[in-house]
Structure 1
Amino acid sequence: MRTLLIVDDEPRTRLGIQKTLTAWSAGRHRIETAASGVEALEWLKANTAHVIITDVRMPEIDGLQMLEALARRGPLPVIVVISGHAEFDYARKALQLGAFDYILKPLDKDILMETVQRALQLEEGRERMQAMEKLVDAKLLEVGRSEARLGAPIKDAIGYIEAHLEEPISMKQVADLMHLNASYFSVLFKEQTGVTFSDYLTRIRLQKAKELLVSTRLPISDIAEKVGYGTAKYFIKVFKDNEGSSPRQYRVQVLEEDRSIR
């Protein structure tokens, strides 16, 4: 359930937005309110808001100061700013600070609901991206980004590995296929990719395993075979040593954090 926080010092506006969004939400979302930027910042210390709808003109701490304070704490939630025509400079500044959109007063209910719907879609998209990023090995990403600088033998070696993950693969075997001495190939591979051949092979196998764990319902033993491990027991050991959890625990954790990956 996503949480929406309405921040406005005017009771009529605050309660009017809450009533409109509560009816629109029909129980799908949690709708909270704060009567000031100070109250909102205090509430956010112990709670999470996925979308914040805030006025820009408030006493003590205005909407812009609240955004700045939130930005210092970490990534901003999706922010929708409310402003009057005379306060457009505030709205523009809010957008520069990272707000998603603004709504002009007097508020139109249809525009409010449409803007909040888009804000929620953006927030859900962010969560999906964050969940997918957890599947990506940073070192493999680095190697991929430097692909243009890889020599032909190393590119071909990586292509071979990716195409034959289910099979037993040794460095000597790949070096022979590239018509290179194994010792020279080992040094060349490390120089160009930044990781050893063995480390790369393990990482690419575990990367594929993680993708299969969250995108399929295949048994752990089948996934072990598909990524080149002869036994599930050895696969589980390697996975746990590198990821800090068993394949089964990893699957449950990621799917619970973002069910939209299923």
Structure 2
Amino acid sequence: MIHEKTILIVDDEPRTREGIRKTLEEWSAGKNRIQTAASGVEAREWLASQPADLLITDVRMPELSGLSLVEAIQQFPGKPAVLIMSGYADFNYAQQAIKLGVVDYLLKPIDKEQLLQTVQKALHVHEQQRRIQTMEKMVDPKLIDVRERREQRGDTPIGEALAYIEAHLGENMTMREIADSLHLNSSYFSVLFKEQVGLNFSEYLTRKRVQRAKELLVQTAMPISEVAERVGYQTDKYFIKVFKSLEGLSPSKYRHSVHEKN
């Protein structure tokens, strides 16, 4: 059975642990996978071998506390969102939890409605973070270099050209047209563009179009032909050829590979 999300509950008190599990299973109605661990050590080992979307852990546990557990999993791939539970309104615990990026801090005894609201909030936060991470991984390193160069230089005619390209990616455009709009000789514009951007005009335009295409492929269910049109290619055949030359795989395979990883 395919589950939407995996939630791990960690508490050394069996009654609390099982109470939360039961509440979440009733709410989930089989959609999500609800797991439990009786100690921080057990939870750390579990998370080292498989991912979770949400970790709900008690603060005070023998051997490995909840906060130590959260610290221990910071470098794990696919780090879960975290909710901390405690029977004590301890400001220091709350402060440390915030520093570790914990979504919320629940005081025991935990109200069922509050638990469910907080769990849904934490899962939403995790989903947003996952999307951001996915998009960051997709960014062309050469385009990151361009952005850094631009930040160092400030406003120039080339900055205007880049803004125009960004706003009109789906349209036909030539270097001469942009140079003319900036009242620059096209040969001079070409040299200036390469000097300030680090890429020639056509390579930059291609990389920007493929970058936008990657975003559309991952964020929408848009057909390949429509993605091609949206990023300025008149035929999907040529778009696929260009995309494959930069990414090493076709747009449809790229879409599938990113969705598979997530």
| TM-score bucket of the superposed structures, by smaller chain | 0.7 to 0.9
Label 1:148 to 1:9 Cα distance change in 2 as closer, same or farther (>3 A): same
Letter in 1 for 2:111: D
Once the two structures are overlaid, the 10-residue window that deviates more, 201-210 or 15-24, is 201-210
Kept in 2: contact 1:5–1:49 (CA 8 A): yes
Query: Within the alignment, does 1:251 sit opposite 2:255 as a pair?
Result: yes
Deviation at 1:206, TM superposition (A): 1.4
Distance 1:215 1:39 in 2: 36
Query: Within the alignment, does 1:195 sit opposite 2:169 as a pair?
Result: no
Paired residue total = 258
- Which residue of structure 1 aligns with residue 211 of structure 2? 207
- Which residue of structure 1 aligns with residue 102 of structure 2? 99
Deviation at 1:115, TM superposition (A): 1.6
Distance 1:71 1:195 in 2: 37
Distance 1:212 1:137 in 2: 15
- Which residue of structure 2 aligns with residue 7 of structure 1? 10
TM-score, normalization: structure 2?
0.82
- Aligned-residue Cα RMSD (Å) equals 2.9
Match runs of 1:152-167 below 5 Å: 152-162=156-166, 164-166=168-170
Label 1:95 to 1:235 Cα distance change in 2 as closer, same or farther (>3 A): same
Aligned-partner SS, 1:85: coil
Aligned pair partner of 2:41 in 30, 35, 38: 38
Amino-acid identity (%)? 58
Kept in 2: contact 1:166–1:225 (CA 8 A): yes
Aligned-partner SS, 2:73: helix
Aligned pair partner of 1:117 in 117, 120, 123: 120
Deviation at 1:34, TM superposition (A): 0.5
Distance 2:13 2:99 in 1: 25
Label 1:96 to 1:179 Cα distance change in 2 as closer, same or farther (>3 A): closer
Distance 1:8 1:174 in 2: 63
Match runs of 1:1-262 below 5 Å: 1-73=4-76, 76-85=79-88, 87-134=90-137, 136-140=139-143, 143=146, 146=150, 149-162=153-166, 164-166=168-170, 168-214=172-218, 218-255=222-259
Kept in 2: contact 1:2–1:30 (CA 8 A): yes
Distance 1:76 1:214 in 2: 21
Deviation at 1:179, TM superposition (A): 3.5
Deviation at 1:31, TM superposition (A): 0.5
Letter in 2 for 1:122: V
Deviation at 1:4, TM superposition (A): 0.7
Distance 1:250 1:191 in 2: 32
Distance 2:139 2:45 in 1: 35
Distance 1:218 1:104 in 2: 45
Kept in 1: contact 2:13–2:38 (CA 8 A): yes
Label 1:223 to 1:89 Cα distance change in 2 as closer, same or farther (>3 A): closer
Distance 1:181 1:154 in 2: 13
Label 1:128 to 1:225 Cα distance change in 2 as closer, same or farther (>3 A): closer
Deviation at 1:3, TM superposition (A): 0.7
What's the CA shift string for 1:145-170, capped at 9, x where partnerless?
73694554313433443455455544
Unaligned 5+ residue runs, structure 1?
none
Deviation at 1:42, TM superposition (A): 0.9
What's the CA shift string for 1:19-38, capped at 9, x where partnerless?
12111222121110001111
Kept in 1: contact 2:53–2:79 (CA 8 A): no
Aligned-partner SS, 2:101: coil
Distance 1:78 1:212 in 2: 26
Deviation at 1:89, TM superposition (A): 3.2
Distance 1:49 1:133 in 2: 21
Letter in 1 for 2:53: H
TM-score, normalization: structure 1?
0.82
Kept in 2: contact 1:147–1:155 (CA 8 A): no
Once the two structures are overlaid, the 10-residue window that deviates more, 91-100 or 165-174, is 165-174
